[in-house]
Structures are given as structure tokens and as C-alpha cells.
Chains A and B, each alone.
Chain A
Amino acid sequence: MTFATRSRERSSFLDSYARSRPDFVLVATYIAISLLGLLMIYSATAPGLEARGLDPTRELKAQALFVLVGFVVFAVSSTLDLTEIRRFVGPIYIASTLLLVVVLTGLGDSEGVAQRWIDLGPVQFQPSEIAKIAVILMLASLLARAAVPLTWTTVARAIMVVAIPAALIFLQPDLGTMLVFAFVLLAVLFVAGVTMRQLGFLGVATILGTVGIFQLNLIKSYQIDRLTAFIDPGSHELTLSYNQVQSEIAIGSGGLVGKGLFEGSQTNLQFVPVQSSDFIFTAVGEQFGFIGSVVVIGLFSILLFRLLSISVAAKDRFSFLVTAGIASMFAFHIFVNIGMTIRIMPVTGLPLPFMSAGGTVFVAMSAALGLAHSVWIHRKEPAGDR
């Protein structure tokens, strides 16, 4: 497969924007999901805040600010030309890996048991979010150069690229995010041309690796508990699995059409903790029922469909792999997060893209989406177009 090469003339911002049509569907979906997210955050937090005599829109406003920033970031990254970014991939990757190390060394801020944040005065941000993008870029860059079908050496290198940051993240410890990397690696390798035999080998290696982790007690017992508790809450119902069980009850009791906005007794009376972030989907399920759940999943499906379409239309192999990586990253988040709220996945702390409250996450994901969008904007022109 040959790729058309573009000239290296400098394009102005406006020029490039005018040359390709933006992906309206993607943008519309992105905005819709983000606004829905804001609505849900408000509905989940307002009653509680009001009951305590505080400003009910507090959380809403905070997130709205991040949403705005995210929109801007999205727009800006949409204009970037990936091929030009490509030469910065190496430094970006190294920088983000260093930041991960920084987090571990105690300059990081720990919240709960895990060290994930870096406090920069008025702003806190999570290096792991940036690492996700950096790793996708690095991985894509590596594999774009490689011959197809992939050699074992290439596969090994790909694994290394992912493994280092993944390990650092695992040590935070943030098991859930680490798994994102694993999934993304597998998906990207797959579309990049990995052979079935290599894939099989990776599968076996994963299993052995998991077993090894258990045997060497690298994984703590509470982590194991968290991973398995979703299967049978039982004795954990009042403690470890409390959130999940409450979420399950809330969503289930939503019925077909839901209880109505602000009428979710579980969510509004605060039976489901951490509602505005990890369990934001719960609010949807309870207040808008099955219909609402399907609408949200549908919106995400459209988003993913667009991302995959964009990847196929990419102008070069690098862009293609980056977009595929971004798509699989989003897919994993969505599936695991919603799965967690309905108790078919363990509690992992992975946020729901563009709906879960959280600044770094929204902005980082907006940047990633923006990059994918830019691939579309700078796509190769099909013969006959224009």
C-alpha cells in the first residue's frame, strides 16, 4: 500500500482549515456527550450540595470550565498536522515517562492509596492521562516504520514502548489504567499487521505474566479483592462493593424510561457515592432508564464509528495507527466504565470519556480526540474529490 506524500510547504492555520471539511458528526457527538455529562454532574451533585447549604452549581461550574478549556484544546489539536508532530514524538514520550517517575517519587500527591497526581499550585494534573497519548504516538511511530507483516523484533520493541510507562503506572498503583495500555497495545498491533502466531504468543505471555504477578505477590490483596468482588459482592456489599451494588440498584430501578431528571432517589439521596466521576453513568441509568442508557451508548458508538472511519481514511500509516490507538483507548474506557456501573466489570477507576467529572481527563481526552479529528481534516483526498 502506498501513501501519497504531501508537500512540505508550510500551511497557515486558516488554509488547512479551509482545505478539509471538519467531521461534523464527530464534533456534534463530542459536544452532545460533553453537555450531557455536565447535566448529569449537576443532577448528581446539586441536591447534596443544596442539602448542606452550599451552592448547588459548584461542581457544575468547575466542570464547565474544564469543558470550555477542553473545547479549545480540541479545536487547537484539530489543526495540528500529525506528520509534523511526528518528529516530536520521541521527546514527548520521554517527558511523559519522566513525569510518571516524578509522580512515584513523592513529589506526587497521593489521594487514597495511589499516587497519581502532581500538584502545580492551583492545578493538579494526572501524568498518566498524558502518558496514554504519548504512548499511542510512540507506538504508532514505531510501527509505521516497520515492515508488514511485523517481525518479532518489531513486536518486542512495541512491547517495550508500552511496558515501561505501563509498569510505572502499575507501581502507583493504578491497575485500571495499566490495563488500558495493554488493550491499546493489542489493538494497535492487530491493525498494524501482527501475525496470528505472534498474537497467540502475546496471549500466552499475558496469561503467564498474570500468573507470575500473582505468584510473586506483586499484586496486593486489596487489589485482588477489588478485581473479583464484582462477581459476588456478598460480604463486601457494605464496604468494598458498596458503590457497585448501589449503582446496580440505581440503574436497575430506573426501568425502561427512568425516574426522570432529578428524580433519581438513589442518586439524589446520595446512596451512590463518587457519582459525579466514576459512576456518572449511574445517574443516566436511573434517571433516564434503558432508553437513556441506550442513547448514551449510541452516541459513543457513533463516536467510535467515526474514529475507525477516520483511521481508514488517514493519509499515512502513522496517522492511521494513531487514530486506531485513540479509538481503542476510548472503547476500552467506555466499556470498562459502564460495565463497572452495571457490575459486569470490576471497579477500576477508569472514567467515562467526556462525561466523568475531572479536569485533566477531559482536557487530555479532548486533545486526543482533536488529534484524531486532525487526521480527518488532513486526510488523503480521494480521487475525484474537489
Chain B
Amino acid sequence: MTSPLRVGILGLVMIGLFSILGIRLWTMQVTEAQAYDERAEDNQVRVVLTPAPRGDIYDSNGVKLAGTRSALAAVIDLALIDEDEREPLSQNLAAFLDESATDIEELLSATNRGSQITVATDITDAQATFLLEHREMFPGVNVIPQPVRTYPEGEVGAHVIGYIGKPTQEDLDERDDINGEDVLGKAGVERAYDVALQGIPGVVEYKVDAKRKVLSLENEVAPSAGGSLILTIDSEVQSQLQVSLQNGLMQARRLEMEERRLAVEEQSRSQRVAEALSEARAEALEKALEEKAALDAAAEAGESTTTTRPDDGERRIGPVEVDETEVLASLYTGLPIDADGICVPVQRVTIPRGGSATVTGIEPRLARYESVAQFGGELAADVIVEGKSYRVKEGERFAGTLRVLEISEDQLILNHSDTWCPVRAVGVVLNPDDGSVIAMSSYPTFDPSAFVDGLSNEQWTSLGTVSAFTNFAVQGQYAPASTFKTVPYVLALEESFYPIDRGVGDKEIGQEPTSGSTSTTIPDGDTSTTVLDDATPEDPEDVVLKPLTSDRDEYSCTGEFRFRLNDGSFQTKRDWKWPGGHGPLDLHGALQASCDLYFWDVALRLWNERGDDSGIDKENLLQEYARGFGFGTTTGIDLPFEREGLIPDRAWFIAEQREGSPRVRQDGSWVGGDLMDVAVGQGAVLATPLQMANGLAAMVNGGTVWQPQVVRKVVDQDGNVITENQPTIINEMDISPRTTALLLADLRQVVNNQERGTARSAFADFGRGVYLVGGKTGTGEIIKAPRSERFRQVDSAFFVGVVPVSDPEYVISVVIERGGSGGRVAAPVARQVFQFLLNGPDGVTPIAPGLDAD
């Protein structure tokens, strides 16, 4: 090719390049000019949000439970400060606010350019004046009104109200109406109604130049205040409930301390001590066997063993030793106590390395954190407790009551716990006519004001260790035990379905197994089960079966229930009142005395008749009734984190087995015994205190299951209603007025019948109006997987009640976790609240234990 041609081609290339420029310019300046114009505008506009005051929270009578007070905050507009001004500013602020300069530096550098951050909240007028008068020392700093949250009633209603705090990154991602400067409801109605409470921030628009200097004010929109909540809670009833829960819990703990003292005094004869020692021996034996197996395996593999054995070459399992003092310490002397000498469910113990700390107890022990080292990839700590050495890893238990939470180079954190100390008391008071919650609390509780300024580490730890921030009324799940018997009770009346009495004949009630037969007792997790070795003597087929046909037919409520399983073996379940039983009782007496056998037998009959031609799914009929009354699903109450409880059935059982869940047996299927457990609210049945109250409310109001609610309405600043929560029906159970009336009458008898009412002692000195009170006690185990607790069941106490029985206005549920028996510690709490409701504050008498009855 010749040169001019090539030059020509080069020229064409240049033309091509310039054309690209031209096309792009055309696109930008002609076709898309509009879009660019807007962006240029945006460059120049700065938007600042002014916060809206948060709405208040009132109880049903207008008592203010949460409000705001005006306060001043110091804020910085980062866009107005140059880089080189930042450091002197941090220094000045640090000196002025008495904080560390590094903290302030962090605060300043952690945010995007152009935003406003709060550097100090709730400053005094004097501080504000100083900042404004010395602007040269504090460039870019401004003082703005920033309201502070107040909780005038402190702890009252804390779990329903909730608390506020700074939003997390997740919160910011989810909500686009808040930024990092706002506060957010974290629990309770503060959280559930956060959007309504927030209000809408105001907007101020400025026109600025590239230096963000304000040129002019373009637009201003005032903030609109958040809506205020009117709760269904009555703060006076709420106060009384909280006081009574605290009384009940402390009483339960004192009773527990007394029991222990007796147990230790009667050491050798006490069942608890004997069981503890035998369990400890069994564990030690198991461990020794494991060690031997390991050593044998090592020998086989030809490895030399590093442990020196006293009798060289011989490996025998000698007598297994158990430290009795340690067992006793874990039973009594070494358990954690508070300053008044009363048990505490859990305490945190922090030991610095090389130092020691006191492990509380009736006989306190000294624990020393000696050293830490790596063992197989994990940290292991060497600890000495009262002269005994232990080498422990995270999660391990040792020295009877201690469990390792965290091992670090600097310190060791342990939990010192007591599995028999009553943990907490939970209560709910509902209106059975519309589902409004009148009071709800769990104790230990907290004061929401603590969150406003931020909790100290100590406060957070001590409250957090006892889960004080959790609302167990909706988040706690318990096996409702005998309080659940109202469900098979209603089923029996509605379906005219009564048990088939067995084991009568000439048998005396409460007879021991006949002589000559031996039996083995197996701890079963629930009750202990006795299996007869000798299969022949008590063949249930020999006994006379007498089907009951009415609620008035009598049933032999003996102490023991023996029945044959499908595989031919026999099983025995024992009533809570064993030996002795209750004697002959009809349905009503069975509820009043809380006889287990009657209701087991209802379940057994359902089980045996499943698959009959009646067309009714008898196998799940009990569950249907339970779910009909709201058990097993969330109620949908307007509070966060509600749990749904559980009503187990065959389908659930199979699903759990498939997952290998520790909650169910691995082999076998859903059997009659499981259904019997459901009838008395045990086994895998779980309910929240709210569900217990709501369920009873439905049973006593004629069958309407209301949706519980804590907020009645949301109003604006002038009192105009923004939204109102109308009472909503979740379900209508078709129960006859006769059933309702009979139930109420029997509930009254539980409280008032001096022969068999399980709550009679608790309500003995009630005062005026005791005949208006009805209820049902319950004593049950907390949910645990098999083999998780060492031994022995720990009872939780329940009581559900209603007043007045003639025309129910209030329904209550009380749970004292690990408290003991329902009649003894839960019923008295309800008693105080009912006294308050019927007779006012003066009618409330001091807390006292009731009868030790289920």
C-alpha cells in the first residue's frame, strides 16, 4: 500500500474515534439531558431529617406507662468539617464530655460523608450554651432538641411495654423508614407497634454548593408525632400481679430451702439423697468402664499406655468411689444462694487467671483459675475448687454445680447453677369476654428506663443471666399438667364419653402388688414405671370391666393404673396421690381432686376405640378439642416472639422420629400411653401461660376463643382514634351451656371443697367472695430431653383460675417454674390477685403456702 492511502486510512480511524465522541455527546446532551439535569440538581440539594416525637403508652385508665421528655442533644454535621479540623474537634469534645477521644474519633469516622450524627444525648442547658458559644472550638457541632424516653411506672408492665434501643444492621436493612440515629422498639409493644409510635420525621431541604455550604432553604416539612397506645392493661391489677408473682417465687424458694435442710438432716433416709448417691455411683462406674475399654483397645493396638497403674499389667475395675461431700454439696451446701441465704437458680462466676473467686453456698467454696493450655485444639483450664483440681473445657460440668461458659487467657466464666431452685413466676390475667389482657408479667423483671441510657455490663449480665428481659407469658412453654384436664373433661361431657372402669372386682383400693411377684422399677422420664416380672397374676382380662355411662357414674380412682400393652407386657402408671389414691369419684370429683386415673382412662378408651365405625377420628379427638381451645398454635397476640406450644399426635411423633429428635423414643410408634400423657397435660404437651389462660377463658365463656390483645387503640396527639383493635374471634367451640355450668361449678369446688379441692388450703383465708372463685391446679415437669437432667423430676407449679364463677370477668394463669406443686405455690399467687380483684388492695392477705397437692 502506498503512503497516502495509509494516511487516508489513519484519517478514517480518527474520524471513527471522533464519531464515537460525537454520538456519546449526543446521547448525553440531547437524549438524556433531562436525566443529567436532575442529577445536577440533586448534587445541590441536601436533605436533613428532623426527628418526630415518639408516641406515649397508656394503660386502660389513662395512666402513663411510657412517655418522652424533651432534652437536648449535641450533633455534628460531618459534611461541614474539613479533614484537618477533625482531630482538634475530637479532642475538644472528649475533654468537654469527659469521654475518650478515641471513642469520639471512631464515631466520627464510622459514618458516611454528609450525615448528621449524635455525639451526646441529654445534655444540660449549661453544656448546650457552652457548645453554642464556643463554636470555634466545636466546628460543625449543633444543639438540637432530641426527646428522651421515660417510663414513669418503672417495672410495672415492663414485659408488655418492652424497651427501646439503637437499631442493628439487620433492622436497618429491613426498615427503610429509620436510620442509624433513631431508636427502635426492641421488645413488647414498643416493638410490635414501633412504626405507629415512630411517627414521621420532618424534612428540611437546603441548596448547597460543592463545599456543602448552605446557600438557601428550599423546603421545610414539620414532623408528625407518633401515635400513642392505649393498652388493655390495668396498671393497678398489673402491679398487684407483679407483687404477687414476686411473693410467690420467693415463697417457693424459701420452701425449697426448708426442704433441703430437712433432706440433709435426714440424710440416710431421704430419697433424694439416696437417689443422688446411687446416680453418682452409676456415673462413676460408667466412666471407669469407658476408661478400661479405652486402655484395652490401646493395648490391642500395641500402643503403650501413658497412665501408670498401681498394679502393673493388671487391669481390674476396683471399687468405685464416690465423693459423698461433693454429692451433698450439689444437693444442698454448695448450691448458689443470694445475700439473704435463699437459693438462686443461676449465678455467674468470673475468675481472673491466677486469681480466685467465691462460689456461693451455705458452705461457700473458693475457686482458683490456675492456668490454661491447648488440648487437642481446644482450650482447657485448670481449676482448683476447695483443694480439688479439675481440668475442664468449655461446656463441661464439674464440682457439682459449676459449668464452664467461656475460657479465655484472661478469665474463666462459669455458671453456678441450682436445678431445683424455683426459677421464675409468670402470670396472665385475661378478660374472657373479649380477650383483652388485663395484666401480664414474669418475675424476675426489669425497668425499661435502664435501656434509655444504656445498661452497664453488670446490669446486662445479671439480668440477662436470669432472662429477666424475656416475656415468659408468651415465650415460655410448659407442660401444663393437670390444668389441662379441663380439656378431656369437656370432651367427656360433650361426647358423653366416659371411661371403662377396670381393676374393681373385690380389689381394695390402693393395694400393693400381690405377694410372691417381683417387679423392677424403671425411671421413665415421666413417672416411674413398674413392670411385673411375673406376668400372670394380675391379668387385666380377669377383672370386671364396668363402662361408665354418665358424668355421675363413679370410677375407682385408685393409686395405680395397670394396663396391658400390645406386646403383651404390662405397664403401670401411678397417680400423684400414691399410695392411697382418691377413692371412688365421678367426673366432677375427679376434676376437683385432680385424679389422674380417670382421665388416663378416658384417653385409653379413645385409644382402644380408634378405628371403630363411628366415623369420628377418636385417636385425635382429644387433640382436636385441645387445638379447638387454642392450644398448639400461636394466638396472634400483638406482642413479639410468641411461641406456639405443642399438642402432639401420631403425625408429629413420626416426623420427630424421622429427624432423630431426642424428644421422642427412637423405636416404636405412637402408643396409647402417649395419648394418656396428653390427657393430663404431660409428655410432649407444651403450652404458654397465655394459652393456658386463653384456653380456660374459652371454656368458661361458652366456647369462644378470643384473640388476646394488649393494645386497645392507637390515638393521635389530640386523642383522635387512628386505629382500634376490635375483639376478634379465633374459634368457636360448640359446647353446651350445661357443660359450661358444670365446669364452673367444679372449678369452684377445687377451691372450696374441703375434702378434695386441691386448692382449698391456698384459698382458706381468702375472705369475702371465696365462693365466687374457681380454678384448677397443676404440677408438672418442665420439658427436657431424656437423659438431660441428672435425675429426679423437678416440678413446676401451675394454677388457672376464674372469678366470679357466676359470670366470669377475669381468668388467670400462674406458672412457677420449678416451684413445687400447684396447690402449694401457684395457687396462693392467684389467691392474692383474686383478693385484689374482688376486695381491693385491703383484701390482700400475705402469701402463704397451700396444700401440697396437684
A binds B: yes
Taking the complex as formed, is A253 at the interface, i.e. its CB lies under 8 A from any CB of chain B? yes
A293 close to B29 (CB less than 8 A): yes
A190 close to B6 (CB less than 8 A): yes
Taking the complex as formed, is A174 at the interface, i.e. its CB lies under 8 A from any CB of chain B? no
A328 close to B10 (CB less than 8 A): yes
A312 close to B4 (CB less than 8 A): yes
Taking the complex as formed, is B286 at the interface, i.e. its CB lies under 8 A from any CB of chain A? no
Taking the complex as formed, is B301 at the interface, i.e. its CB lies under 8 A from any CB of chain A? no
Taking the complex as formed, is B209 at the interface, i.e. its CB lies under 8 A from any CB of chain A? yes
Taking the complex as formed, is A124 at the interface, i.e. its CB lies under 8 A from any CB of chain B? no
Taking the complex as formed, is B419 at the interface, i.e. its CB lies under 8 A from any CB of chain A? no
Cα distance A255–B31 when bound, in Å? Answer: 9
A312 close to B36 (CB less than 8 A): no
Q: In the complex, identify which listed stretch (B19-27, B494-502, B831-839) lies at the interface while the others stay far away.
A: B19-27
* Complex partner residue of B40 from A249, A301, A312, CB under 8 angstroms: A249
A248 close to B21 (CB less than 8 A): no
Instruction: Report the number of A-B residue pairs with Cβ-Cβ less than 8 Å.
Output: 115
* Complex partner residue of A252 from B10, B29, B44, CB under 8 angstroms: B29
* B 275-315 to A, binary, CB cutoff 8 A, 1 in contact else 0: 00000000000000000000000000000000000000000
Question: Which residue of chain B is the closest to A246 with respect to CB atoms?
Answer: B43
Interface size on B, residues (CB 8 A): 35
Cα distance A250–B36 when bound, in Å? Answer: 7
* A 306-331 to B, binary, CB cutoff 8 A, 1 in contact else 0: 00100110000000100010011001
B36 close to A253 (CB less than 8 A): yes
Question: Which residue of chain B is the closest to A190 with respect to CB atoms?
Answer: B6
Distance in Å from the Cβ of A4 to the closest Cβ of chain B? 16
Cα distance A165–B219 when bound, in Å? Answer: 58
Taking the complex as formed, is B341 at the interface, i.e. its CB lies under 8 A from any CB of chain A? no
A251 close to B28 (CB less than 8 A): yes
Taking the complex as formed, is B520 at the interface, i.e. its CB lies under 8 A from any CB of chain A? no
Cα distance A269–B212 when bound, in Å? Answer: 10
Taking the complex as formed, is B409 at the interface, i.e. its CB lies under 8 A from any CB of chain A? no
Taking the complex as formed, is A98 at the interface, i.e. its CB lies under 8 A from any CB of chain B? no
A256 close to B33 (CB less than 8 A): yes
Taking the complex as formed, is B14 at the interface, i.e. its CB lies under 8 A from any CB of chain A? yes
B40 close to A253 (CB less than 8 A): yes
CB neighbours (8 Å) of A1 from chain B are 2-3
Cα distance A285–B26 when bound, in Å? Answer: 11
Contacts of A168-200 to chain B: CB distance below 8 A: 187, 190-191, 193
Question: Which residue of chain A is the closest to B36 with respect to CB atoms?
Answer: A252
Cα distance A126–B705 when bound, in Å? Answer: 87
* Complex partner residue of A255 from B11, B24, B30, CB under 8 angstroms: B30
Distance in Å from the Cβ of A382 to the closest Cβ of chain B? 14
* B 26-52 to A, binary, CB cutoff 8 A, 1 in contact else 0: 101110110111011001100000000
Given contacts A255-B29, A294-B25, A335-B17, contact A187 B10 (CB under 8 A): yes
A297 close to B21 (CB less than 8 A): yes
Given contacts A290-B29, A311-B7, A328-B10, contact A271 B43 (CB under 8 A): yes
Contacts of B753-783 to chain A: CB distance below 8 A: none
A254 close to B3 (CB less than 8 A): no
B37 close to A252 (CB less than 8 A): yes
CB neighbours (8 Å) of B210 from chain A are 269-271
Cα distance A238–B32 when bound, in Å? Answer: 22
Cα distance A193–B10 when bound, in Å? Answer: 12
Taking the complex as formed, is B658 at the interface, i.e. its CB lies under 8 A from any CB of chain A? no
Distance in Å from the Cβ of B808 to the closest Cβ of chain A? 63
A256 close to B40 (CB less than 8 A): no
CB neighbours (8 Å) of A97 from chain B are none
* A 143-170 to B, binary, CB cutoff 8 A, 1 in contact else 0: 0000000000000000000000000000
Cα distance A305–B15 when bound, in Å? Answer: 10
Cα distance A246–B44 when bound, in Å? Answer: 12
CB neighbours (8 Å) of A254 from chain B are 29, 33
Distance in Å from the Cβ of A312 to the closest Cβ of chain B? 5
Distance in Å from the Cβ of A246 to the closest Cβ of chain B? 8
Cα distance A11–B28 when bound, in Å? Answer: 53
B37 close to A255 (CB less than 8 A): yes
Given contacts A252-B35, A290-B26, A338-B21, contact A238 B113 (CB under 8 A): yes
Contacts of A227-276 to chain B: CB distance below 8 A: 238, 246, 248-256, 265-266, 269-271
Cα distance A289–B18 when bound, in Å? Answer: 17
A253 close to B10 (CB less than 8 A): no
Size class of A's contact patch?
35 or more
Cα distance A256–B26 when bound, in Å? Answer: 9
Question: Which residue of chain A is the closest to B37 with respect to CB atoms?
Answer: A253
Taking the complex as formed, is A344 at the interface, i.e. its CB lies under 8 A from any CB of chain B? yes
B40 close to A250 (CB less than 8 A): yes
Taking the complex as formed, is A342 at the interface, i.e. its CB lies under 8 A from any CB of chain B? yes
* Complex partner residue of B22 from A187, A294, A304, A334, CB under 8 angstroms: A294
Taking the complex as formed, is B211 at the interface, i.e. its CB lies under 8 A from any CB of chain A? yes
B44 close to A304 (CB less than 8 A): no
CB neighbours (8 Å) of A308 from chain B are 7, 10-11, 14
B24 close to A344 (CB less than 8 A): yes
A297 close to B7 (CB less than 8 A): no
Distance in Å from the Cβ of A11 to the closest Cβ of chain B? 27
Cα distance A289–B15 when bound, in Å? Answer: 21
Question: Which residue of chain A is the closest to B113 with respect to CB atoms?
Answer: A238
Question: Which residue of chain B is the closest to A187 with respect to CB atoms?
Answer: B10
Cα distance A327–B14 when bound, in Å? Answer: 10
* Complex partner residue of B39 from A253, A269, A270, CB under 8 angstroms: A253
* Complex partner residue of B44 from A255, A269, A312, A334, CB under 8 angstroms: A269
Cα distance A253–B15 when bound, in Å? Answer: 26
Taking the complex as formed, is A106 at the interface, i.e. its CB lies under 8 A from any CB of chain B? no
* Complex partner residue of B33 from A255, A265, A294, CB under 8 angstroms: A255
Cα distance A265–B24 when bound, in Å? Answer: 22
* Complex partner residue of B25 from A193, A300, A342, CB under 8 angstroms: A342
B25 close to A293 (CB less than 8 A): yes
B211 close to A312 (CB less than 8 A): no
Cα distance A312–B25 when bound, in Å? Answer: 31
Taking the complex as formed, is A91 at the interface, i.e. its CB lies under 8 A from any CB of chain B? no
CB neighbours (8 Å) of B25 from chain A are 251, 285, 290, 293-294, 297, 342
Distance in Å from the Cβ of A46 to the closest Cβ of chain B? 15
B29 close to A256 (CB less than 8 A): yes
CB neighbours (8 Å) of B44 from chain A are 265, 269
* Complex partner residue of B21 from A250, A252, A269, A335, CB under 8 angstroms: A335
A297 close to B22 (CB less than 8 A): yes
Question: Which residue of chain B is the closest to A323 with respect to CB atoms?
Answer: B7
Distance in Å from the Cβ of A304 to the closest Cβ of chain B? 6
Cα distance A36–B28 when bound, in Å? Answer: 22
> Can you report 12 residue pairs joining A to B where beta carbons are below 8 Å apart?
A249-B39, A252-B33, A255-B29, A255-B33, A269-B44, A289-B29, A301-B18, A308-B7, A308-B10, A312-B3, A331-B14, A344-B20
A: which residues have CB within 8 A of B?
Answer: 1, 187, 190-191, 193, 238, 246, 248-256, 265-266, 269-271, 285, 289-290, 293-294, 297, 300-301, 304-305, 308, 311-312, 320, 324, 327-328, 331, 334-335, 338-339, 342, 344
Closest 3 CB pairs of A and B: A252-B36, A290-B29, A253-B40
Given A253-B33, A297-B21, A339-B21, 17 further pairs, Cβ under 8 A: A187-B10, A190-B9, A191-B3, A193-B6, A249-B40, A249-B43, A255-B29, A255-B33, A256-B29, A270-B209, A290-B25, A290-B29, A311-B7, A312-B3, A312-B4, A312-B7, A331-B17
